């Protein structure tokens, strides 16, 4: 006795839904990724051959090439620098103050920052530099 064979459909894997899911996952991870929140300033630090890395998390005062002050994440006018430093003076006395001054900034801006720090009783003041052989311009402090 001969049984009729059933006709089998060829087996296929439809990749379209799989590709759609992969793209949706890619979009989800791109949207939900967090980025570094610190804003980068274009500062060209002067070179030093005897630089040593900072040991704790000091208060950072940045001075741009245009002469603008930035204490932490807030931009500060020169007239308000004393007030801004007094609000962070306790941390600066405990952990130190690092001045990241651009190499092209007027020297009077750095002296004004040092004067304000001295007026607040901040004695642990360091100036950020970069190593002379360091091509990546990584900031280090004296």
Matching residue, tokens 């950072």: 60
Matching residue, tokens 């590709």: 19
Residue 32 lies in a domain: no
Residue 81 lies in a domain: yes
Residue 34 lies in a domain: no
Q: Name the strand (E) or helix (H) holding 71.
A: strand 69-71
Predicted local confidence at residue 90, as pLDDT: 87
pLDDT in tens, 6-63: 888 888 888 999 999 999 999 999 888 876 655 666 777 677 776 666 555 788 888 8
Give residue 57's domain range. Answer: 47-141
Q: What is the CA radius of gyration of the chain?
A: 29
pLDDT in tens, 105-142: 888 888 988 998 888 888 888 888 776 665 555 555 55
Instruction: Quote the tokens at residue 53.
Output: 């890395």
Residue 116 lies in a domain: yes
Predicted local confidence at residue 18, as pLDDT: 92
Residue 117 lies in a domain: yes
The structural domain count of the chain equals 1
Predicted local confidence at residue 3, as pLDDT: 79
CA distance 65 to 101: 8
Residue 31 lies in a domain: no
CATH code (residue 89):
3.30.420.270
Residue 78 lies in a domain: yes
Phi, psi of 43 (to 5 degrees): -120, 130
Residue 15 lies in a domain: no
- Average pLDDT on 80-105 reads 86
Count how many residues are written for the chain.
Answer: 142
């Amino acid at each position: 006795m001969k049984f009729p064979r059933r006709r089998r459909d060829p087996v296929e894997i439809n990749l379209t839904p799989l590709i759609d899911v992969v793209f949706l996952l890619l979009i989800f991870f791109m949207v939900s990724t967090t980025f570094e929140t610190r804003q980068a300033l274009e500062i060209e630090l002067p070179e030093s051959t005897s630089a040593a890395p900072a040991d704790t998390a000091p208060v950072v005062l940045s001075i741009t090439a245009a002469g603008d002050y930035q204490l932490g994440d807030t931009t500060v006018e020169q007239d308000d620098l004393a007030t801004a430093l007094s609000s962070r003076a306790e941390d600066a006395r405990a952990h130190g103050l690092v001045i990241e001054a651009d190499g092209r900034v007027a020297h009077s801006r750095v002296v004004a920052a040092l004067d304000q720090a001295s007026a607040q009783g901040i004695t642990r003041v360091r100036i950020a530099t970069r190593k002379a052989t360091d091509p990546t311009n990584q900031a280090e402090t004296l």
